[in-house]
Chain A
Amino acid sequence: MLFHSPIFLFAFLPLTWVVFRVLAGRHCERLALGWLVAMSLVFYAYWNPVYVTLIVISIAVNFSIGTRIAPDDSRLGLRSRCWLLYAGLAFNLGLLGYFKYANFFLDSMRGITGWSYNLQHVILPLGISFFTFQKIAYLVDAYQGRTGKYTLLEYCFFVTFFPQLIAGPIVQHHQIIPQLERRETFRFRLLDVWVGLSIFAVGLFKKMVLADGSAVYVAPVFDAAAAGQGISAPDAWAGALAYTFQLYFDFSGYSDMAVGLARMFGFLLPINFNAPYRATSISEFWKRWHITLSRFLRNFLYIPLGGNRRGMLLRYRNLLVTMLLGGLWHGAGWTFLLWGGLHGIYLIINHAWDSVSSRWLPMAFVHSRPMRFLGWAVTFGCVVAAWVFFRAANWTAATEILHAMGGQTMASGLAFYITDVPWLWLIAMAVVAFGFPATHDYFWRYTPALDPPRRRSRFARMAWRPTFVHGAALGVLVFLIFRKYFVLQPTEFLYFNF
């Protein structure tokens, strides 16, 4: 069920919300929570009922392991707890490995050795990459004694709560479950509904108008490259830039919708995007892009690998390994691995430059406006180039587009690009991505999400308030969303594939 599908908007959401509010209003908090868990499973089952079994089994296994390995009241010794933790990790990674990587592994084996083994094509369960990471984080925290005494219902809610179930933000138990213990979470506040609905509408606008609007300029270029047709330089740039904006608005739109939906029910989710294309370095980009994933990779991969504690070379190795695995997390394919590797290399260069510049160059120069602009331009260019690998069907198509972007092409324009429309559109997208406040900046007065950036935003003065002007602005966005229902069938979110 897609957040922007009519069945979700006009049936599932109102029903779920009304019953939740009635139950919560009568102080039946447990029942209200149970209702949300049940409806979240219905939400998941709508895509493929068979895989509800998978998520239920996974919850049961992880919860029972988690409660046994917590040091506070475990009857097990350290060694047994450790083995149980490994078993839990193996279980989660095994599920992810089978469902997400089995086909990729066998195809790669076939390509390398010629060995052929016929495995029935495995369908990737929706959101498995996201909820697997949540559970791994929970197990590790439980082992380290950082979890409370959660009930099964609380744990189920933490895993299945439908706004974040399919494509994040990747929430951690300590972000969600403590909210359940506060009575005011269940209290009805009209402001929550309006703030939630408004954030949801902004997300919907990003998805349906901005992301889907960019998509029409992406597919012709990448499809042509995959079919081995020549791409002209302007087409290649238009396609790559359009995809850069499509992916951002698609995924950040989804995250906004998730945050808005949760807020309508009185819950807060962590922010996932903080205007990433304004980053002036790659390391800053990763603090702004898919923040919950970056945090997970840092806490559960980069730091356990040694982080920056064992010298420069090992730090670079850790960065590269983390980003390679981060790339593989996004998709079982060599292009994703390349994308991750490329970002790993970017980060290594970034850190190397930081250490060189901090030693040899005056700080005033490094942080001067022209240098920051240069940093932004280089960062954005590198990110765009890496997205080409992320989107391209294969290595050949990606290099074809990158060569064309570098001017190494003899091809003339595609028929789709006989007008200047893509450029006007791309300029508009750039203005929104670079010049407009991030959603949490716009709603900062009303604490839209968990962990908002502490720095006061330069957009503070135009922040959202429930006034006529902001209502009218939202009304215009809602109209633009409304008209999209006449144009397109709802399309899936890009991150559903990952």
Chain B
Amino acid sequence: MLRYVIGIVAGFTGAGVVWVGLFLASFGILDTHGDRTVTAWYQIKQEVAGTKSGAKKIVFVGGSNVLYGISAAEVEQAFGMPCLNFGTHAGLPFDYLLHRVKQVVSPGDILVISLEWEYLHRPLDDLNSVYTGCILGGEPRYFWRLPASQQLRICFSAPVSRLVLPLTISPEASAGVQNVYMDSVRGVHIDSWGDFMGNFPERRAKSELARLLGLTPHPCTLAEAEGHSDFWKVVRELRNWAKRKRVTVVFAAPALLDNPILTGADYRQIFAAGEKHYESLGIPVIARQNTNFYGESLMFDSVYHLNSAGREIRTKQLIEGLKPVVSRGSTPK
């Protein structure tokens, strides 16, 4: 019986060692289309930021509502100051978005956060394959900054398909593939302002759009919007960081589909409460949700994604909202 017990311990430990070993060996290797795409967006946007360093700039950060729905090029033209669209993917935690954007923001910059409402509802340590794939493949440094509990979660929740990667491809070979992929994205999907280039109205798949628009999102509850969500801790940390770095932070509501549920009284109450809470934290709201609903003809492929026609309208609104902020050039209260 003792041998059996020793066998259990040995099997458990051996499996654990193999698992952790393969996990660590998979660092620096990008796997899925999602990992590669989001990492390529960040790599290109980081390059774009490099070309805009030196002068004060406006940086838009958020999920794909920013990527699809804001034209940094037009904002740059309107204000004559460098602009950068740093929107990527709403599946990434807000803390990670900030980790990435802090690398490109300098004192005096204006940071416009436009976050999908789901952020208020999602736990801070929520994991998904794109996020873990992105940090392990593209930003392993971020992994080591996380609390040990989250590191363990990421390690043990890694799919087997990720663990076998080191057996099939080296980090160098993966980086080579990524460079080729990035070249196919740069100037084709993402332009020199970080804006998305492919969301023309005529390119949308109507049946797919109809299906996606039929899914009603449950962004968050009223209590979460009023402050009872861990999300606000990250917002407070951002506010404090911005004060120290003399960065102006403002909030712009995301673009949303104009449908009866989302524009109904319950949802409006939630959105208004969220905006009020941003303001109570000293973050001005430059675009409110009730002026940011768009008809189906202006959407691209989801309730948050505008097409280029919708983007033009939203960007004009944002320019109006940004005017006092740009002229003031102030730090947050």
The residues of A with any CB-CB pair to B shorter than 8 Å are 190-191, 194, 227, 229-230, 412, 418-419, 421, 424, 466-480, 482-483, 486-487
A482–B207 Cα distance when bound, in Å, is 43
Q: Top 4 nearest A-B pairs by Cβ distance? A: A471-B7, A475-B11, A472-B11, A483-B156
Q: Which segment of B12-20, B43-51, B172-180 sits at the interface?
A: B12-20
Q: Across the interface, do B7 and A470 meet the contact criterion of CB distance under 8 Å?
A: yes
Q: A473: which of B11, B152, B155, B159 is its contact (CB, 8 Å)?
A: B11
Residues of chain A within 8 A of B33, CB atoms compared: 418
Q: Across the interface, do A487 and B153 meet the contact criterion of CB distance under 8 Å?
A: yes
Q: Across the interface, do A471 and B5 meet the contact criterion of CB distance under 8 Å?
A: yes
Q: Across the interface, do B1 and A472 meet the contact criterion of CB distance under 8 Å?
A: no
Q: Across the interface, do A419 and B9 meet the contact criterion of CB distance under 8 Å?
A: no
Contact A475/B3 with A227-B214, A483-B156 known, Cβ cut-off 8 Å: no
**A468-B3, A471-B11, A474-B11 known, 18 other contacts, Cβ within 8 Å:** A190-B1, A419-B32, A466-B1, A466-B3, A467-B7, A468-B4, A468-B10, A472-B7, A472-B8, A472-B11, A473-B7, A474-B8, A475-B10, A476-B12, A477-B11, A479-B15, A483-B156, A483-B157
A202–B8 Cα distance when bound, in Å, is 13
B203 located at the interface, meaning its Cβ lies under 8 Å from any Cβ of chain A in the complex? no
Residues of chain B within 8 A of A483, CB atoms compared: 19, 156-157
Residues of chain A within 8 A of B207, CB atoms compared: 412
Q: Across the interface, do A467 and B3 meet the contact criterion of CB distance under 8 Å?
A: yes
Q: Across the interface, do A476 and B7 meet the contact criterion of CB distance under 8 Å?
A: no
In the complex, how many angstroms separate the beta carbon of A85 from the nearest chain B beta carbon? 49
Contact A471/B6 with A194-B1, A421-B161, A480-B15 known, Cβ cut-off 8 Å: yes
Q: Which residue of A lies closest to B9 (CB)?
A: A475
Q: B156: which of A190, A412, A468, A486 is its contact (CB, 8 Å)?
A: A486
Q: Which residue of A lies closest to B159 (CB)?
A: A421
Q: Across the interface, do A470 and B4 meet the contact criterion of CB distance under 8 Å?
A: yes
B141 located at the interface, meaning its Cβ lies under 8 Å from any Cβ of chain A in the complex? no
Residues of chain B within 8 A of A476, CB atoms compared: 11-12, 14-15
Q: A475: which of B8, B153, B157 is its contact (CB, 8 Å)?
A: B8
Residues of chain B within 8 A of A473, CB atoms compared: 7, 11
In the complex, how many angstroms separate the beta carbon of A124 from the nearest chain B beta carbon? 26
Residues of chain B within 8 A of A229, CB atoms compared: 211, 214
Q: Across the interface, do B3 and A482 meet the contact criterion of CB distance under 8 Å?
A: no
Q: Across the interface, do B19 and A478 meet the contact criterion of CB distance under 8 Å?
A: no
Residues of chain A within 8 A of B3, CB atoms compared: 466-468, 471
A486–B15 Cα distance when bound, in Å, is 16
Q: Which residue of B lies closest to A487 (CB)?
A: B157
Q: Across the interface, do B12 and A478 meet the contact criterion of CB distance under 8 Å?
A: yes
B interface majority secondary structure: helix
A230–B159 Cα distance when bound, in Å, is 29
The residues of B with any CB-CB pair to A shorter than 8 Å are 1, 3-16, 19, 32-33, 127, 152-153, 155-157, 159, 161, 207-208, 211, 214-215
Residues of chain A within 8 A of B13, CB atoms compared: 475
A421–B160 Cα distance when bound, in Å, is 10
Q: Which residue of B lies closest to A478 (CB)?
A: B12
Residues of chain A within 8 A of B1, CB atoms compared: 190-191, 194, 466
In the complex, how many angstroms separate the beta carbon of B5 from the nearest chain A beta carbon? 6
Residues of chain B within 8 A of A418, CB atoms compared: 33
Residues of chain B within 8 A of A477, CB atoms compared: 11
Residues of chain A within 8 A of B161, CB atoms compared: 421, 424
In the complex, how many angstroms separate the beta carbon of B209 from the nearest chain A beta carbon? 13
29 residue pairs of the A-B complex, CB under 8 angstroms, read A190-B1, A227-B214, A229-B211, A229-B214, A412-B208, A418-B33, A419-B32, A421-B161, A466-B4, A467-B4, A471-B5, A471-B10, A472-B7, A472-B10, A473-B7, A473-B11, A474-B8, A475-B9, A475-B11, A475-B13, A475-B14, A475-B15, A476-B14, A479-B11, A479-B19, A483-B19, A483-B157, A486-B155, A487-B127
A412–B15 Cα distance when bound, in Å, is 39
Residues of chain A within 8 A of B157, CB atoms compared: 483, 486-487
A483–B155 Cα distance when bound, in Å, is 9
A199–B78 Cα distance when bound, in Å, is 70
A432–B317 Cα distance when bound, in Å, is 58
A329–B153 Cα distance when bound, in Å, is 40
A314–B32 Cα distance when bound, in Å, is 59
Residues of chain B within 8 A of A471, CB atoms compared: 3-11
In the complex, how many angstroms separate the beta carbon of A237 from the nearest chain B beta carbon? 20
A64–B12 Cα distance when bound, in Å, is 51
Q: Across the interface, do A468 and B7 meet the contact criterion of CB distance under 8 Å?
A: yes
In the complex, how many angstroms separate the beta carbon of A194 from the nearest chain B beta carbon? 7
Residues of chain A within 8 A of B32, CB atoms compared: 419
Residues of chain A within 8 A of B153, CB atoms compared: 486-487
In the complex, how many angstroms separate the beta carbon of B154 from the nearest chain A beta carbon? 9
In the complex, how many angstroms separate the beta carbon of B122 from the nearest chain A beta carbon? 15
Tell which of B15, B16, B153, B208 has the most Cβ of chain A within 10 Å.
B15
A98–B274 Cα distance when bound, in Å, is 45
Contact A487/B7 with A476-B15, A482-B12 known, Cβ cut-off 8 Å: no
A156–B156 Cα distance when bound, in Å, is 42
A467–B11 Cα distance when bound, in Å, is 12
Residues of chain B within 8 A of A487, CB atoms compared: 127, 153, 156-157
Q: Which residue of B lies closest to A421 (CB)?
A: B161
A476–B208 Cα distance when bound, in Å, is 43
Tell which of A418, A419, A421, A475 has the most Cβ of chain B within 10 Å.
A475
Tell which of A190, A424, A486 has the most Cβ of chain B within 10 Å.
A486
A467–B1 Cα distance when bound, in Å, is 7
A487–B127 Cα distance when bound, in Å, is 9
Residues of chain B within 8 A of A480, CB atoms compared: 15
Residues of chain A within 8 A of B6, CB atoms compared: 468, 471
Residues of chain A within 8 A of B14, CB atoms compared: 472, 475-476
Q: Across the interface, do B7 and A469 meet the contact criterion of CB distance under 8 Å?
A: yes
Residues of chain B within 8 A of A230, CB atoms compared: 211
Tell which of B4, B14, B155, B211 has the most Cβ of chain A within 10 Å.
B4
Residues of chain B within 8 A of A478, CB atoms compared: 8, 11-12
In the complex, how many angstroms separate the beta carbon of A195 from the nearest chain B beta carbon? 10
Residues of chain B within 8 A of A482, CB atoms compared: 12, 156
Q: B152: which of A190, A412, A468, A486 is its contact (CB, 8 Å)?
A: A486
A471–B8 Cα distance when bound, in Å, is 4
A230–B211 Cα distance when bound, in Å, is 9
A407–B16 Cα distance when bound, in Å, is 44
Residues of chain A within 8 A of B215, CB atoms compared: 227
Residues of chain A within 8 A of B152, CB atoms compared: 486
In the complex, how many angstroms separate the beta carbon of B3 from the nearest chain A beta carbon? 5
Q: Which residue of A lies closest to B16 (CB)?
A: A479
In the complex, how many angstroms separate the beta carbon of A446 from the nearest chain B beta carbon? 12
In the complex, how many angstroms separate the beta carbon of B283 from the nearest chain A beta carbon? 33
A487–B208 Cα distance when bound, in Å, is 31
A151–B9 Cα distance when bound, in Å, is 44
A418–B211 Cα distance when bound, in Å, is 16
Tell which of B6, B8, B11 has the most Cβ of chain A within 10 Å.
B8
A198–B155 Cα distance when bound, in Å, is 26
Tell which of A424, A467, A471 has the most Cβ of chain B within 10 Å.
A471
In the complex, how many angstroms separate the beta carbon of A221 from the nearest chain B beta carbon? 14
A37–B8 Cα distance when bound, in Å, is 32
Residues of chain A within 8 A of B12, CB atoms compared: 475-476, 478-479, 482
A421–B161 Cα distance when bound, in Å, is 9
